[in-house]
Structure 1
Amino acid sequence: MGIVSLLLLLMVFESTGTSTAQMVPAMFVFGDSLVDVGNNNYLEISLAKANFPHNGIDFPSHRPTGRFSNGKNSADFLAEKLGLPSSPPYLSLVHNKSTNFLAGVSFASGGAGIFNGTAQIFGQSIPMTKQIDYFAAVREEMVEQLGETGAEKVLSTALFAVVIGSNDILGHFSSDSNSSSGSGSGGATTTTAEQMVSSMIVTIEQQLKRIYDLGGRKYAMIGVGAVGCCPTQRARSQTMECNAVANHWATEYNRGLVLVLEQLSSELHGFVYSYFDTYTAFSNFIQNPSNYGFKEVKAACCGLGTLKAQVACLPISSYCSNRSDHVFWDLFHPTEAASRLFVGMAFDGSGQFASPVNLRQLIAA
């Protein structure tokens, strides 16, 4: 490694703030609106945006940032745990002609899914396949700056957070005409839920292998939550109960994902992971809200109509004053309070929530 490459590598560990408080050199984030920190702001025709009030009302700037939240989201809290600044949106760096990728980048995009066509209803998003394409371009730039050995050193110790899959499942159950067997999607497809989930599992395995081939070794894998219990799904039922069928297929996907992770860790040298069981954590919030400081588990904080879930969180919508009491900010997304708890459980939680190790143990290994 040349002296210039060595100096650049030292900059990753020193000038960007690496110290005893910083646990990894960088974090790369792949996923959907649960961890989008502003990429969709740069998509011209996308309807999946949060760059308007009342989003961001509790963010430090008290302004919307493109996060689908009243404040910070899980990507922000995970970065804080790691001693890093939040990974910037990839498209913001491209827009500003920056190649400052060394401390991490976020590729996450609201509406994104494992499948390329998941977000068609929103007009535009960055699907997982394209997010990995962007990461490949970032890796090339890192090699230019650090050399091959330097880039591999950073990537092998960086954390790769993957939060994807909810939109694929919710998209399948977006129509009132879905049956109790989970087949169909409002007549738009003949794919059954079982076929869809099987395809999701095969596809995510291929995508993780691509990231591995590009240098990723440590993975924070976030399972799909109890999507059938989000306000928009409850509001479709006269009883306002959770959509049990959607929840069933979320658990089936999670089960398949765990098997994929176990297989990859045995097949790919250096592949290590922590899987966070979002479904169980979310279910605990819903079943025992007072244990976690919540009072409202069904209705969104921001929106209009039944459970504030018939109109999204728009400037014309009303919003609650007691946001920390709510599990849900809008018709799909958790509040800042819920996101903070999720990350705490993933980072330091027991085997009930994080396996085979939690994130702190994964990073220390």
Structure 2
Amino acid sequence: MKMASNCVCAVRGFWVVFLVLLRLSCAEGQMVPALFVFGDSLVDVGNNDYLPISITRADLPPYGVDFPTKKPTGRFSNGKNTADFIAEKLRLPTSPPYLALISVGESYSSSPFLNGVSFASGGAGIFDGTYGKYQQYITLTKQVEYYIAVHENLVQHMGSSGAKKYVAKSLFVIAIGSNDILDYSRSSDLRKQHTPQQYVVLMASSLKDQLKHLHNHDARKFVFAGLSPIGCCPSQRNQNKTASCNEDTNSWSRMYNMALLAMLKGLKSELNDISYSYLDTYTVVKNFVQNPSAYGFTEVKAACCGLGNLNAIVPCLPISQYCPNRRDHVFWDPVHPTEAAVRILIDKVFHGSPQYTYPMDVQQLAAVDV
């Protein structure tokens, strides 16, 4: 009788997992089972709020002023960010911060990661030492380690085969590298050690190592956000008397994007079961800056929130002034775009012109059968 009971439980467990997967694949027409997000403050949805001594956080107003709750959420934005809009397009809920999920303990009857999770952390770079020795953030290495722990959790709940199929159909968003370029721009030691070309190739090579770890744990479909013209953000413009873009920083961003594309082509030849979409963030944002009226912007140099020249001397804090119409501005604070700018960006790369995505857009990637 005990053996029969165990068999019944096993069959019941199988069908529970099957029905969960079926529900996930069909729920509200979502395009993929889950979204796993890695990166920096451009896609952080609140992980840094759970780091006890981090000063790189967006947990005070006026951050979140245009978010549905009208409150700070840990996003470095006046509202939603890239991770939110990609999830919306995929008809998924925003992937929650990993540290928020594990902070409530292990009392889940099913995996808490079924719709995905975000490991992104403001301040993170491809290199572990990016953004200074004394800042607290989740390094990319640690983000990948956290994902491997999530993968193990999914295997426990779904079985090895079920987790493999689930993860392989999911999307992995990688938005990182800006802090590495900013680190290079402000470090004379780094510039002495590496030429710009050497540095960006090392960035791409280091990222490749992490991608292989993800691939070893069933990741197959990747979205890569190229670097924007970082030299045009208010904090960089503020370094020039004319408030013009820092062309050195912009050139390094372009160089990294080229190195990233070359690395991805090589990786595809090594791992032919992966698919990816590269988002040409540089061109889209450069168009905002050069032809703002075409996109509804009137201010491309100054930040909406901050103090001092271009609102870039003092960062966005409760004492800072902020513009009444955030839709007019490309930049929310000295380094991050407004919700309006990000919304237009994702509209263009999710299902749009081939000039902005390579070799396919995000919607096409979501539809790839694995």
Q: Please state which band the TM-score falls in when normalised by the shorter chain.
A: over 0.9
Q: Which residue of 2 aligns with 1:284?
A: 287
Structure index of larger Rg: 2
C-alpha displacement at 1:197, in angstroms? 1.2
* Distance in 1 of aligned mates of 2:38 and 2:220: 14
- The alignment status of 1:55 with 2:67, answered yes or no, reads no
Q: 1:274 to 1:187 in 2, by over 3 A?
A: closer
Equivalent positions of 1:193-272 (< 5 A) are: 193-272=196-275
C-alpha displacement at 1:7, in angstroms? 1.8
> Which of 126, 130, 150 is equivalent to 2:162?
150
Kept in 1: contact 2:25–2:32 (CA 8 A)? no
Q: Which residue of 1 aligns with 2:124?
A: 112
> Which of 96, 100, 110 is equivalent to 2:112?
100
- The alignment status of 1:273 with 2:276, answered yes or no, reads yes
- The alignment status of 1:314 with 2:314, answered yes or no, reads no
Kept in 2: contact 1:46–1:122 (CA 8 A)? no
C-alpha displacement at 1:13, in angstroms? 4.0
* Distance in 1 of aligned mates of 2:11 and 2:253: 49
C-alpha displacement at 1:122, in angstroms? 5.9
Amino acid at match of 1:25: P
Q: 1:71 to 1:122 in 2, by over 3 A?
A: farther
- The alignment status of 1:32 with 2:40, answered yes or no, reads yes
* Distance in 2 of aligned mates of 1:8 and 1:65: 33
- The alignment status of 1:7 with 2:16, answered yes or no, reads yes
Kept in 1: contact 2:184–2:190 (CA 8 A)? no
* Distance in 2 of aligned mates of 1:36 and 1:5: 35
Kept in 2: contact 1:26–1:159 (CA 8 A)? yes
Amino acid at match of 1:190: K
C-alpha displacement at 1:50, in angstroms? 0.2
Kept in 2: contact 1:157–1:217 (CA 8 A)? yes
C-alpha displacement at 1:346, in angstroms? 1.5
C-alpha displacement at 1:265, in angstroms? 1.7
My pick for the range that moved more, 260-269 or 84-93, is 260-269
Amino acid at match of 2:104: N
Kept in 2: contact 1:5–1:150 (CA 8 A)? no
For residues 56-102 of structure 1, the C-alpha deviation after alignment (integer angstroms, 9 at most, x for no partner) is 00000000000000000010011000010000000000101254011
> Which of 133, 155, 172 is equivalent to 1:160?
172
> Which of 58, 73, 80 is equivalent to 1:72?
80
Equivalent positions of 1:116-135 (< 5 A) are: 116-120=128-132, 123-135=135-147
Q: Mind listing any 5+ residue stretches in structure 2 that lack a counterpart?
A: 1-9
Kept in 1: contact 2:38–2:143 (CA 8 A)? yes
* Distance in 2 of aligned mates of 1:148 and 1:60: 38
Q: Mind listing any 5+ residue stretches in structure 1 that lack a counterpart?
A: 175-184
C-alpha displacement at 1:22, in angstroms? 0.5
C-alpha displacement at 1:3, in angstroms? 4.2
* Distance in 2 of aligned mates of 1:74 and 1:10: 31
* Distance in 2 of aligned mates of 1:190 and 1:125: 26
* 3-state SS of paired residue (1:119): coil
Q: 1:305 to 1:9 in 2, by over 3 A?
A: farther
The count of aligned residue pairs is: 354
Amino acid at match of 1:36: D
* Distance in 1 of aligned mates of 2:27 and 2:137: 36
Decide which structure has greater helix share. Answer: 2
* Distance in 2 of aligned mates of 1:31 and 1:64: 20
Percent of counterpart pairs with the same letter? 51
Cα-Cα RMSD? 1.5
- The alignment status of 1:324 with 2:327, answered yes or no, reads yes
TM-score by length of 2: 0.92
Amino acid at match of 1:35: V
